[in-house]
Amino acid sequence: MTTATPSLPQARRFTLPRLGGIWSAIRRHPSGAIGLFGVTFFLLMAFVGPLIIPEPKVNVSARSQPPSAAFILGTDNQGKDIASQIVHGARPVITVALLTGILTTIVAITLGALAAFLGGLFDRVVNSAANFVLTIPYLVAMTVLASFIRLNSPITQALILTLWSWPVLMRTVRAQVLSLREREYVEAAVALNLGTPHIIFREILPNMASYIAISMILAMTSAIYAQIALITLGLVPLSDLNWGKMIFSARTTGAIYIADTVWFILAPVLAIALFQWSLVTLARSIEDVFNPRLRSGA
């Protein structure tokens, strides 16, 4: 007589949402559609707009002009079209935000997942490193680094911002993984000896897809604030046109005190605010897109 061996619980597989499900989720949340439209608009403006709209040029005869049919947002104290500056200044800011969001997410989820799953010495080292980074004042560290490293490259800026952005997200990912590792499908994968990389990257992290996507968006918003602050404080060279440089130039030239040139500082501020709002609004509907229960209307 043979005794039946109980079967291990099947690992829960994460499936990417289909286009129909995504569209249904977006229709249920109009704000998500608005956020998606806003993000798409700014991405097109940043990477396609400069190919269509010519670069702003100095025009002394059109200095400090208010908004008009010729200049939608007016001109600055050098006669440059402010609307054209908004278009050409979008790419550097959005590029750094994208790179920082991607790098921060990769570093945080990798270290957080490994720390939670492996535990022991690796967990203690990662947490100690995170605590050390969090104890260093951000602006003080940036000021010191700016004196040794030229932050004139989007990649360099993204790496520096990532260096101070990963600890918070890593801690949250670690807590999430500590919870997920107790689930039956993870215990089944461990019992089947599928290996640590498979368990982490095939069983655990895919089931955190919505959380990871939202965290990346929030990392992008933080990166935008951080790089604008660095530019405004003069810690980043003002060689390339971007929204931060526009704010810095408008502040130093006193544009905010002149009615005809107030759009020189309002335009980049509004552009940053609208892009941030689009990102946050889009993040609110991501859970509905990735969660199969919500997609099915259950």
At residue 154, the pLDDT reads 83
Residue range 96-123: average pLDDT? Answer: 88
Categorize the per-residue pLDDT at 259 as very low, low, confident or very high, splitting at 50, 70 and 90: confident
pLDDT tens by residue, 182-205: 677 666 766 776 666 777 777 777
pLDDT tens by residue, 5-54: 344 344 444 444 455 555 666 666 677 778 888 999 999 999 998 999 88
Residue range 143-149: average pLDDT? Answer: 75
Residues 6+ apart with CB under 8 A from 122: 114, 115
Helix, strand or coil for residue 81?
A: strand
Q: Is 110 exposed, middle or buried (0-12, 13-18, 19+ CB in 10 A)?
A: middle
Residue 296 has pLDDT above 70, yes or no: no
At residue 98, the pLDDT reads 92
Residues 6+ apart with CB under 8 A from 210: 286, 287, 289, 290, 291
Residue 143 has pLDDT above 60, yes or no: yes
pLDDT tens by residue, 196-244: 677 777 777 777 777 788 888 888 888 888 888 888 777 777 667 888 8
At residue 44, the pLDDT reads 94
Measure Cα distances from 254 to 61, 227, 233, 262 in Å: 20, 22, 16, 9
Q: Does residue 116 contact residue 181 with C-beta atoms inside 8 Å?
A: yes
Give the ranges where the chain is alpha helix by DSSP (H).
Answer: 19-28, 30-47, 49-52, 82-88, 90-118, 120-135, 138-148, 154-163, 166-180, 184-191, 196-198, 209-232, 243-252, 263-290, 292-295
Average pLDDT over the chain, rounded to an integer? 78
Between 12 and 125, where is the model more confident? 125
Residue 182 backbone phi and psi in degrees, to 5:
-90, -5
Domain ranges in the chain? 90-240
Residue 2 has pLDDT above 50, yes or no: no
Greatest alpha-carbon span in the chain: 100
Categorize the per-residue pLDDT at 86 as very low, low, confident or very high, splitting at 50, 70 and 90: very high
Tokens 């089947």: give the residue.
192
Distance, C-alpha 79 to centroid of its chain: 33
- pTM, entire model: 0.79
